[in-house]
Structure formats: C-alpha cells, structure tokens
Amino acid sequence: EADIYQTPRYLVIGTGKKITLECSQTMGHDKMYWYQQDPGMELHLIHYSYGVNSTEKGDLSSESTVSRIRTEHFPLTLESARPSHTSQYLCASSQTFSRGALGVYYGYTFGSGTRLTVV
C-alpha cells in the first residue's frame, strides 16, 4: 500500500546531539514537505522540495537542514539539538490533480509524525 513513513515516532535526546528524522514515501510524489507543529497545534512549514536535488526553506526559520537525493526519501537533520527544538515534526508529500480550466491543486498525504523531546 502506498504510504508515507516517518521514523522514529518518538525520540528523547540530550542537548548537543546530532539527530536525523527519517521520512520516506512509496507513492513516487515529486513534492515533499516538513512541518513543525507547536504545542498550540499550529503548523509551520519549515522545508519543502519539488524534486531530487531541490530544497527550499519554508515560512518558519529553522536550524534544521534537509536533503533530497532520492525521490522517495526526505530526511531532516539537526546538527546540535537544543530544548527549543522540542516539537512534533510532520512530513508530507503531494500529488498534482487537475481542475480543468481552474488549473491544478496539490493533494497532500501526511506521515504519522515524530515527537522530538530534547532534554
């Protein structure tokens, strides 16, 4: 079954450690995204990619970095974790659908998320 997978689901790590959050999708989607969700539930786009070797920063500045070497894989890395990085991180991918004369829209699929706690 086509899906999008995030690992780990939960991670507790000490300050200063390097971490990588994994995101993989089996749907062949070109577009992928990382969102950070704050405790108040609001979603903030931190990174996106429109294809292999393409990465862009999102609306919220983040100290994390991403890479897109393969279509199916979009990992997020924090070189030195801090307590301020504690958050829920959601990965997504999207597929283009036609609306005829109105253009297109992107249908998103989200992973289950990684809850990161930095102590």
Partner 1 sequence: GNSVTQMEGPVTLSEEAFLTINCTYTATGYPSLFWYVQYPGEGLQLLLKATKADDKGSNKGFEATYRKETTSFHLEKGSVQVSDSAVYFCALNYGGSQGNLIFGKGTKLSVKP
Distances (CA, A) of 22 to 92, 98, 102, 106, 109: 12, 30, 35, 23, 16
Number of residues that bind partner 1 (CB under 8 A): 28
Burial bucket for residue 60 (CB in 10 Å: 0-12, 13-18, 19+): middle
Binding status of residue 75 toward partner 1 by CB under 8 A = no
**Which residue's CB is nearer to partner 1, number 9 or number 17?**
9
Q: Which of 8, 12, 106, 117 binds partner 1 (CB under 8 A)?
A: 106
Provide the 10 A C-beta neighbour count for residue 44: 15
Please tell me whether residue 113 binds partner 1 under the rule CB under 8 A.
yes
Please report, as ranges, the residues that interact with partner 1 according to CB under 8 A.
6, 31, 33, 40-43, 45, 48, 58, 90, 92, 94, 96-97, 99, 102-113
